[in-house]
């Protein structure tokens, strides 16, 4: 018998695992591994998305009369090693096949487990992505430094996406400058609700197990409303194209109290589970532009996320696969503050961003980068701690995409591979892009004193601490000069407030 492994984020029928099948001798294998679906403490929402989507896919496999071995979470298999050992002991397997996993450590673990049983594994190409195998590493070799923008242009040109007569549509590659609007004082207009996907028997069963056996996991579950089948993911895609895409560009970076989703697609979990293919998402957006249903700045901005960022991040994950978890360029060593698990903080931006993660397993890019990520960077959190938090808390979190975004882009622990500078900002940025500060006891303009916004204090403190790095970075040198212009007493007051915050943050949340 040949064993065909289908991992939890490989739920696509166009996968190469479905080619060259012999119904009699090919047996398919899926396992709910607790390490992958429940750890490092995985938000209940994330666990349910993964397990329910896997069970729905397994149901389809059985409907097509393929032989399937499926281990539910209640089998208590904590690792791929344990799960494969059980299978190899109970079944006569001659060979193993698997599509290349999205996690290098999982790949190593499976390979090791298979070899341990004196078997061979055939790794199949992952055809979900737009870039072909080896295309990114070839591109990388020709460049001094990887820059997302040039990778994105390469893919647009070679795949003829938003290209008109050999030129970028609209005469420019990038409309990012038009995509940074915040809302007026009244906030966003009424935003059409996302479809309600309901809770069918399969999802209910997963929810019941999580409630009964894994109630200690963070997050709430009664708000669950994520697509868990391809049909639902296609409905979400249509809904996004028709109702949100026209506004996506303008308000891509904006945030608003009690508005977790705004005009964002909510497609990342479906894409990462491979219920949706990136090509079809891009084509749907491009078609909306051709049909005059969405403006170019929105369509280009959205396509850049999927074609540019998503493919670029994947390329970098594999290029530095052995290094990511060792990176700590800024020597950050502190623990994550407790409120990352509870949302119990008076800092409104963090309260909002963490609360919606607990309630929905979701934050949009700017909330992840410029609120939760920025605070962890300024707080000097050990990159491994914040990586575990991001990997566990978001419904779309899988290693190949979470690791470079967190350790690289948001924490600069890679010393400048993903981005050319640390993404630092004071409370003024959050104040400009949201209404959070209006409901906050702190003042984003103040860097010292009792009412000082912790972001603003720690932003200047970061510049002071990393002065050498900041003053030599052309994109940040001005910020080092601004720090130098402050009087000695101002600088000292900021340092003292920062030290005070490091000692008292948790109690301060209650007293402010
Ligand atoms: C610290 C940090 C951690 C992140 N962790 C993840 C993660 O675990 N999984 C994940 O899919 N994304 C991650 N991202 C990227 C991004 O924030 C999410 O893809 C996006 O917020 C998902 O929401 P959406 O589908 O509504 O996206 P939209 O804002 O509507 O964007 C459209 C799509 O573009 C893709 N995309 C956008 N930005 C990125 C990016 N930087 N990297 C890869 N794809 C991107 C996603 O597939 C997304 O669905 C992370 C970003 C940061 C800063
Ligand atoms: S004042 Fe500071 S802590 Fe409060 S919401 Fe604004 S940025 Fe966040």
CA distance 460 to 480: 9
CA distance 130 to 29: 26
Listed residue (195, 176, 206, 203) closest to 241, CA to CA: 195
Nearest Cα to 40, choosing from 315, 397, 499, 322?
397
Q: Does the beta carbon of 430 lie inside 6 Å of ligand 2?
A: yes
36 has a pLDDT exceeding 80: no
Range scoring the smallest mean pLDDT among 193-202, 329-338, 502-511:
502-511
DSSP string, 355-397: HHHHHHS---HHHIIIIIHHHHHHTTB-HHHHHHHHHHH-TT-
Residue range 328-355: average pLDDT? 97
Whether 374 is in the pocket of ligand 2, judged by its Cβ within 6 Å, is no
Measured at the CA of 98, the angle between CA 94 and CA 104, to 5 degrees, comes to 125
For residues 465-487, one letter each, b for 16 or more C-beta atoms within 10 angstroms of the residue's C-beta and e for the rest, the string is bbeebbbebeebeebbeebeebe
- Dump the DSSP string for 89-154: HHS---EEEEEPPS-HHHHHHHHHHHHHTT--EEEEP-TTSSSPTTHHHHHHHT-SS--HHHHHHH
User: What pLDDT digit, counting tens, does each position of 490-501 carry?
Assistant: 999 999 999 999
Q: Is any ligand 1 atom within 6 A of the Cβ of residue 271? A: yes
User: For ligand 2, atom 3, which residue shows the shortest CA distance?
Assistant: 347
- pLDDT, residue 509, reads 57
Cα separation values, 144 from 4, 80, 165, Å: 40, 38, 30
Q: How far apart are the first and last CA of the chain?
A: 65
Residue nearest to atom 7 of ligand 2 (CA): 427
Cα(46)–Cα(53) distance, rounded to whole angstroms?
Answer: 11
Backbone angles phi, psi at 168, to 5 degrees: -60, 140
- CA-nearest of 349, 321, 356 to 428 is 349
CATH architecture of 339-511: Orthogonal Bundle (1.10)
Q: Is 470 in a helix, a strand, or coil?
A: helix
Cα distances from 5 to residues 30, 35, 54, 113, 345, in angstroms, run 6, 17, 13, 13, 43
- pLDDT band with cut points at 50, 70 and 90 for residue 512: very low
CA 220, CA 132: separation in Å to the nearest integer? 39
The pLDDT of 281-307, averaged and rounded, is 97
Of 37-46, 236-245, 373-382, 490-499, the one with minimum mean pLDDT is 37-46
Determine whether the shortest distance from the Cβ of 369 to ligand 1 is under 6 A.
yes
Say if residue 111's pLDDT is above 90. yes
Question: Which ligand 1 atom is at minimum distance from the Cα of 244?
Answer: 30
Task: Decide if pLDDT at 102 tops 50.
Answer: yes
What would the CATH number be for the domain defined by 135-319? Answer: 1.25.40.80
At residue 290, the 3 state secondary structure works out as helix
| Sequence spans of domains, the chain | 2-124, 135-319, 339-511
* Among the bound ligands, the one closest to the CA of 311: 1
Predicted pLDDT of residue 34: 85
CA 302 to ligand 1 center in whole angstroms: 11
Ligand 1 close to Cβ of residue 360 (< 6 A)? no
- Range with the poorest average pLDDT among 25-39, 134-148, 388-402: 25-39
Ligand 1, atom 19: closest residue by C-alpha: 268
Q: What is the pLDDT of residue 37?
A: 67
Pocket test for ligand 1, best of 46, 180, 299, 305 (most atoms within 8 A of CB): 305
For residue 144, what pLDDT band results from cuts at 50, 70 and 90?
confident
Q: Please list, in sequence order, all residues whose beta carbon lies within 8 angstroms of the beta carbon of residue 194, skipping any fewer than 6 positions away.
A: 225, 236, 239, 261, 266
Q: What is the mean predicted confidence (pLDDT) over 379-393?
A: 97
Which pLDDT band holds residue 511 (cuts at 50, 70, 90)? Answer: very low
What crossing angle do the helices spanning 278-290 and 296-303 adopt, rounded to 10°?
Answer: 170
What is the average pLDDT score of the chain? Answer: 95
pLDDT (tens digit per residue) in 147-186: 999 999 999 999 999 999 999 999 999 998 888 899 999 9
CATH of domain 2-124: 3.40.50.620
């Amino acid at each position: 018998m040949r064993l065909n492994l289908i991992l939890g984020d490989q739920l696509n029928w166009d996968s190469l695992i479905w080619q060259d099948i012999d119904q009699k001798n090919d047996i398919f294998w899926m396992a709910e591994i607790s390490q992958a679906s429940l750890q490092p403490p995985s938000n209940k929402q994330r666990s349910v998305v993964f397990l329910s989507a896997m069970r729905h896919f397994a149901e389809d496999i059985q409907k097509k009369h393929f032989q399937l071995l499926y281990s539910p979470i209640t089998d208590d298999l904590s690792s791929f090693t344990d799960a494969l050992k059980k299978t190899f002991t109970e079944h006569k397997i001659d060979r193993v096949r698997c599509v290349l996993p999205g996690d290098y450590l999982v790949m190593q673990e499976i390979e090791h487990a298979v070899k341990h049983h004196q078997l061979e594994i055939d790794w199949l190409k992952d055809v979900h992505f737009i870039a072909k195998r080896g295309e990114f590493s070839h591109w990388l070799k020709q460049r001094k430094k990887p820059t997302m923008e040039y990778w994105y242009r390469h893919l647009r040109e070679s795949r003829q996406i938003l290209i008109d007569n050999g030129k970028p549509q609209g005469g420019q590659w990038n409309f990012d400058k038009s995509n940074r609007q915040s809302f007026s004082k009244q906030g966003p207009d009424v935003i059409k609700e996302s479809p309600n996907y309901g809770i069918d028997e399969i999802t209910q069963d997963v929810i019941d197990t999580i409630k009964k056996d894994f109630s200690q996991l963070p997050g709430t579950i009664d708000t669950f409303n994520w697509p868990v089948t391809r049909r639902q993911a296609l409905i979400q895609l249509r809904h996004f194209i028709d109702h949100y895409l026209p506004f996506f560009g303008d308000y891509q970076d904006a945030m608003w109290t009690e508005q977790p989703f705004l005009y964002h697609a909510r497609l990342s979990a479906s894409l990462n589970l491979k219920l949706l293919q990136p090509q079809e998402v891009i084509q749907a957006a491009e078609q909306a532009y051709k049909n005059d249903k969405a403006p170019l700045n929105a369509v280009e901005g959205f396509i850049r996320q999927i074609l540019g960022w998503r493919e670029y991040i994947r390329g970098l994950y594999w290029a530095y696969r052995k290094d990511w978890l060792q990176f700590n360029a800024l020597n950050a060593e502190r623990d994550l503050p407790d409120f990352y698990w509870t949302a119990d903080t008076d800092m409104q931006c963090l309260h909002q961003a963490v609360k919606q993660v607990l309630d929905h397993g979701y934050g949009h890019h700017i909330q992840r980068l410029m609120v939760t990520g920025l605070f962890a960077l300024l707080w000097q959190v050990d990159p491994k701690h914040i990586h575990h938090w991001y990997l566990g808390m978001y419904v779309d979190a899988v290693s190949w995409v979470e690791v470079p975004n967190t350790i690289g882009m948001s924490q600069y622990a890679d010393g400048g591979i993903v981005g050319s500078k640390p993404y630092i900002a004071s409370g003024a940025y959050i104040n400009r892009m949201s209404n959070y500060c209006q409901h906050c006891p702190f003042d984003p303009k103040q860097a010292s004193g009792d009412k000082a916004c912790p972001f603003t204090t720690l932003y200047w403190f970061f510049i002071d601490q990393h002065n050498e790095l900041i003053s030599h970075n052309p994109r940040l040198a001005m910020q080092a000069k601004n720090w130098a212009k402050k009087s000695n007493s101002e600088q000292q007051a900021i340092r003292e407030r920062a030290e005070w915050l490091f000692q008292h943050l948790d109690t301060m949340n209650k007293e402010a």
